[in-house]
């Protein structure tokens, strides 16, 4: 079920009525939220709820066993069971075809005439998100950072909580499960602010991403011709904006919906295009994933505790796997590789070149970061390396006679939105939406809210999926 | 800033704006209408799963959609056909879906618009892809999408400003369309498509009628003629006669072997389009060969005096009243030939 759909509106109203009905106890309400979450997921593809159940049961069992077992071999065994089940699901459903294709290529390259039919299996929505979430629970118990959930219901709801089930934020157990232990009700203030965040998230998705930027990005990246400099940049910037608004929009909706239930979810985006440097970018972009990768991959790989060389290796591996997490294609790996290189270069330069960031050069470094990030988006969006190569060449002035695909208005639209986006992120670097909202007069805030609602109604979004659902 | 007061003001302002928006567009002559989209097509396609021997399914392009009126058909046969024709597309993928993905063995009416029917079997070519997307959507649609559509239809029937047709008509009232219509100068090469206005109305069972405006407003009709000319101008791939007939004949054979009643229908064309079709798709080379290779019952409008002589306002489709008459005469001919099931005595 999509947040930007009438079905969700009806679903959520029913959930709210049951949730706030004074006749039910908290345990019933949690049970209702759990059932609602399965309905939310099952309306997409009912049989795939089974995967959620298996993940839930396995990690609940493993968590409980880890909590009472001190024997290291046994603890390792239980952990491996959880990792095998969760990564096995990911491997089979998400990477099955990719692995088969690459195995076939490898076999053919060494002269083995091997041919395999694609598995052609459906990718369960949000599998990358909920498997990472359940794994974090087991890993945290393994590392003795947390205790197991108090009840199976609390744990099952943690795995399945519908606002963040299919596209995050990937919430840690200590942040969410404990919120289920006591009765939760949103205050009036929280409820209204949640409504505003839901409106803002939908506005980002439906108006900014789908209505204003998606077509330009699709036109450019679906083009087979070598493109003109301006067209290539417009396409890349359009995608850059589209993926931000699409994903941050989803996260904002999720945070708002949860808040209307009195549940607090962490921020997932903090104005990433205003970042100064790539470490800063990853502290602002998809924060729940980057912190997950840091805690469960980068640090176990050694982090920065074993010298610079080992740190660079850990960093590169983390970013390569982070790239692969986004999709089963080598283009995603290259996206991760580029970010890995950026981070390594940044860390290397930091030790050698001392640059004092001041109020004048800071905007230059933010712009430089934004520009470099845009080059990575080309690999993220391009369906193949040939398209990516054409795009990069065009963006570097190497196709002076490239084809003109977009009209003047499209160019104006994309460059205007990008400029506003960049400066907004820059301005918001040390602010939050709430801080800005609180500084506005009531009439102005209400008018902005009303405009967003009106535009949402007249946009009549086609109800298409969020980009990150496929990850 | 007070959140409570903000919410109240925002809700009031947005409701007033939406009401104003609706009133504005109604004053411009707009009224609530359904969209011919993949959701409606899939909902109609689902009816085939339970269709019996007496049922009639129509596949084809827009001519089969405009020219065959379901009310008239039902009046003369007692059977309301399932309308699966899809505009701007070849009927081959939809007929193939009917034959290979269902056990339907009733009557299939296949509308043959030469420029589309004989165009291609290449999956990525628009005439094929447009139809295949609907077939795929029917297979892949989720329960959530079904629920959304069930909630969406009453709104479409209530508000004039809701219009989100897949065809992206130039007069659709959605934000994306307003933005897409803004042009500054000419930057890209190649011809620009003339404005394509919505010129038909569709009902919940996909019965389609041409809007009266096409008949009474010559300028409006001419705007559609310009679009047809645009579609057939420039470098276009040659028809794939052998490929399309061969593809269709295989499905036709399978369908008839299991007892299906296959009827090919060629609906009228006029003016520039008729000239073009006569020149590029000579009847003896295309239609006659299709009929011969499939062995299906076939009705070409030009073989019957009562099916000719219509004035097609935009060269390709019959007006509503003419479509009623055409359907009545065609159905009566088919009944007289004992080629059509009827529940009427």
Residue pLDDT, tens place only, A228-271? 999 999 999 999 999 999 999 999 999 999 999 999 999 999 99
The residues, any chain, with a CB within 8 Å of residue A318's CB and separated by 6 or more, are A293, A294, A297, A298, A301, A340
- Asked whether residue B37 is domain-assigned, the answer is no
pLDDT for position A106: 84
d(CA B225, CA B229): 6
Q: Is the pLDDT of residue A468 over 70?
A: no
A385 touching B, CB under 8 A?
no
- Asked whether residue B125 is domain-assigned, the answer is yes
State whether B142 and A404 contact (CB < 8 Å).
no
The residues, any chain, with a CB within 8 Å of residue A453's CB and separated by 6 or more, are A199, B10, B11, B14
State whether B9 and A446 contact (CB < 8 Å).
yes
Indicate the DSSP class of residue A346. H
- Asked whether residue B153 is domain-assigned, the answer is no
pLDDT for position A239: 96
Percent helix, strand, coil in chain B, to 5, is 50, 10, 40
Alpha-carbon torsion angle B161, B164, B169, B175, nearest 10:
70
Q: Is the pLDDT of residue B160 over 60?
A: yes
Indicate the DSSP class of residue A284. T
Alpha-carbon B283 to chain mean position: 23
- Asked whether residue B31 is domain-assigned, the answer is no
Residues of chain A in contact with residue B147, where contact means CB-CB under 8 angstroms, are: 6-7, 10, 43
State whether B14 and A44 contact (CB < 8 Å).
no
Q: Is the pLDDT of residue A320 over 60?
A: yes
- Asked whether residue B280 is domain-assigned, the answer is yes
Alpha-carbon B255 to chain mean position: 23
Kindly state the tokens that stand for A306: 């074993």
Q: What angle (nearest 5°) sits at the alpha carbon of residue A315, between those of residues A310 and A321?
A: 125
Total domains in chain B come to 1
CB count, 10 Å around CB of A328? 21
Q: What are phi and psi of B59, to 5 degrees?
A: -120, 160
Kindly state the tokens that stand for B34: 């359904």
State whether B142 and A45 contact (CB < 8 Å).
yes
Measuring CA to CA, which residue among B32, B34, B134, B180 is closest to residue A210? Answer: B180
Rounded alpha-carbon distances, angstroms, from residue A160 to A33, A51, A56, A59, B162: 9, 11, 9, 13, 34
Q: Is the pLDDT of residue B52 over 60?
A: yes
Question: B109 forms bridges with which residues in the sheet?
Answer: B58, B263
Residues of chain B in contact with residue A439, where contact means CB-CB under 8 angstroms, are: 1
SS3 B58: strand
pLDDT for position A446: 96
The domain that contains B330 carries what CATH number? 3.40.50.1110
Q: What part of A 403-422 touches B (C-beta under 8 Å)?
A: 404-409, 411-413
Asked if residues A377 and A236 have their Cβ atoms less than 8 Å apart, the reply is: yes
Give tens-digit pLDDT for B56-106. 999 999 999 999 999 999 999 999 999 999 999 999 999 999 999 999 999
Query: Residue B6: which of A215, A445, A458 has the nearest Cβ?
Result: A445
Range of the domain at B237: 53-136+207-336
Q: What is the mean predicted confidence (pLDDT) over A318-341?
A: 91
Q: Among the residues of A261-399, which ranges form H helices?
A: 278-282, 287-293, 308-326, 330-352, 362-381, 385-395
Q: Is the pLDDT of residue A471 over 70?
A: no
Q: Is the pLDDT of residue B39 over 80?
A: yes
- Asked whether residue B19 is domain-assigned, the answer is no
d(CA A427, CA A24): 45
Query: Residue B187: which of A212, A408, A462 has the nearest Cβ?
Result: A408
- Asked whether residue B106 is domain-assigned, the answer is yes
Tell me whether the omega of the peptide bond preceding residue B310 falls within 30 degrees of 0, making it cis: no
Question: Which residues of A form the catalytic set?
Answer: 326
Q: Is the pLDDT of residue A470 over 60?
A: no
- Asked whether residue B255 is domain-assigned, the answer is yes
State whether A450 and B184 contact (CB < 8 Å).
no
Q: Is the pLDDT of residue B291 over 70?
A: yes
Q: Is the pLDDT of residue A117 over 90?
A: no
Indicate the DSSP class of residue B191. P
Query: Residue B6: which of A210, A411, A446 has the nearest Cβ?
Result: A446
pLDDT for position A108: 82
The residues, any chain, with a CB within 8 Å of residue B272's CB and separated by 6 or more, are B225, B228, B229, B315
Q: Is the pLDDT of residue A116 over 80?
A: no
| Mean of the per-residue pLDDT values of chain A | 90
Share of residues in chain B with pLDDT > 90 (%): 81
The helix-helix angle for A229-260 and A385-395 (nearest 10°) equals 110
Give tens-digit pLDDT for B182-214. 988 888 877 888 999 999 999 999 999 999 999
CB count, 10 Å around CB of A334? 19
């Amino acid at each position: 079920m999509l947040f930007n759909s009438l079905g969700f509106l009806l679903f959520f109203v029913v959930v709210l009525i049951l949730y706030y009905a004074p006749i039910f106890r908290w345990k019933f309400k949690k049970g209702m939220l759990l059932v609602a979450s399965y309905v939310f997921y099952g309306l997409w593809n009912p049989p795939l709820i089974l995967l959620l159940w298996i993940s839930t049961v396995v990690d609940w069992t493993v968590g409980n066993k880890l909590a009472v077992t001190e024997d290291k071999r046994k603890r390792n065994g239980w952990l491996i069971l959880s990792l095998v089940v969760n990564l096995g699901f990911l491997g089979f459903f998400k990477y099955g075809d990719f692995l088969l294709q690459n195995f076939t290529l490898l076999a053919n390259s060494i002269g083995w005439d091997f041919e395999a039919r694609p598995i052609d299996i459906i990718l369960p929505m949000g599998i990358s998100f909920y498997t990472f979430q359940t794994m974090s629970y087991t890993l945290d118990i393994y590392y003795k950072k947390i205790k197991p959930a108090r009840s199976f219901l609390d744990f099952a709801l943690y795995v399945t909580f519908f606002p963040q089930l299919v596209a995050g934020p990937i919430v840690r157990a200590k942040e969410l499960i404990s919120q289920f232990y006591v009765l939760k009700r949103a205050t009036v203030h929280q409820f209204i602010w949640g409504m505003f965040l839901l409106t803002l998230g939908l506005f980002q998705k439906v108006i900014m991403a789908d209505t204003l930027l998606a077509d330009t990005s699709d036109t450019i990246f679906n083009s087979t011709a070598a493109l003109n400099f301006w067209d290539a940049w417009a396409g890349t910037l359009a995608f850059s904006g589209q993926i931000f608004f699409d994903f941050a929009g989803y996260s904002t909706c999720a945070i708002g919906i949860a808040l209307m239930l009195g549940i607090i979810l962490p921020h997932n985006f903090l104005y990433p295009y205003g970042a100064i440097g790539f470490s800063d970018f990853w502290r602002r972009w998809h924060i729940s994933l980057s912190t997950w990768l840091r805690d469960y991959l980068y640090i176990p790989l050694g982090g920065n505790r074993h010298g610079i060389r080992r740190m660079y290796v850990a960093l590169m591996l983390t970013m390569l796997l982070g790239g692969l997490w986004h999709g089963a294609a080598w283009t995603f790996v290259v996206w991760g590789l580029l970010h890995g290189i950026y981070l390594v270069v940044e860390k290397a330069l930091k030790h050698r070149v001392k640059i004092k960031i001041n109020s004048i050069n800071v905007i230059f470094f933010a712009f430089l970061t934004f520009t470099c990030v845009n080059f990575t988006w080309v690999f993220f969006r391009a369906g193949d390396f040939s398209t990516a190569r054409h795009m990069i060449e065009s963006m570097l002035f190497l196709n002076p006679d490239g084809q003109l695909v977009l009209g003047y208005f499209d160019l104006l639209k994309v460059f205007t939105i990008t400029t506003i986006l960049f400066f907004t992120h820059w301005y918001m670097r040390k602010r939050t939406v709430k801080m800005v909202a609180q500084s506005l007069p009531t009439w102005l805030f209400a008018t902005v809210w009303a405009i967003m609602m009106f535009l949402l109604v007249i946009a009549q979004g086609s109800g298409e999926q969020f980009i990150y659902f496929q990850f | 800033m007070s959140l409570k007061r903000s919410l109240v003001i925002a809700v009031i302002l947005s409701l007033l704006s939406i009401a104003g928006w609706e009133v504005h567009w109604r004053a411009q002559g707009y009224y609530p209408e359904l969209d011919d989209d993949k959701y409606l097509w899939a909902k109609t396609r689902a009816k085939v799963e339970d269709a019996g021997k007496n049922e009639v399914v129509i596949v084809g392009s827009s001519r089969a959609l405009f020219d065959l009126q379901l009310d008239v058909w039902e009046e003369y046969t007692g059977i309301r056909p399932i309308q699966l024709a899809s505009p701007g597309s070849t009927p081959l993928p939809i007929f193939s879906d009917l034959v290979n993905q269902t056990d339907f063995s009733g009557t299939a009416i296949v509308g043959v618009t030469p420029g589309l029917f004989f165009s291609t079997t290449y999956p990525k070519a628009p005439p094929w892809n447009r139809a295949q997307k609907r077939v795929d959507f029917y297979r892949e649609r989720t329960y959530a999408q079904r629920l959304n559509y069930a909630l969406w239809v009453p709104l479409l029937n209530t508000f004039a400003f809701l219009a989100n047709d897949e065809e992206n008509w130039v007069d659709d009232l959605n934000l994306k369309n307003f933005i897409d219509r803004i042009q500054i100068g000419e930057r890209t090469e190649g011809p620009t498509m003339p404005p394509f206005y919505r010129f038909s109305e569709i009902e919940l069972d996909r019965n389609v009628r041409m809007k009266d405006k096409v008949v009474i407003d010559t300028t409006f009709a001419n705007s559609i003629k310009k679009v047809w000319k645009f579609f057939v101008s420039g470098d276009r791939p040659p028809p794939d006669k052998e490929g399309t007939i061969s593809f269709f004949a295989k499905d036709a054979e399978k369908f008839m072997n299991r007892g299906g009643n296959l009827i090919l229908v060629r609906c009228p064309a006029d003016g520039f389009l008729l000239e073009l079709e006569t020149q590029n798709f000579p009847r003896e080379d295309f239609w006659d060969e299709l009929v011969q290779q499939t062995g299906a019952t076939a009705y070409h409008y030009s073989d019957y005096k009562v099916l000719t002589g219509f004035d097609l306002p935009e060269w390709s489709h019959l007006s509503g009243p003419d479509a009623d008459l055409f359907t009545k005469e065609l159905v009566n001919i088919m009944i007289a030939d004992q080629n059509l099931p009827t529940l009427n005595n």
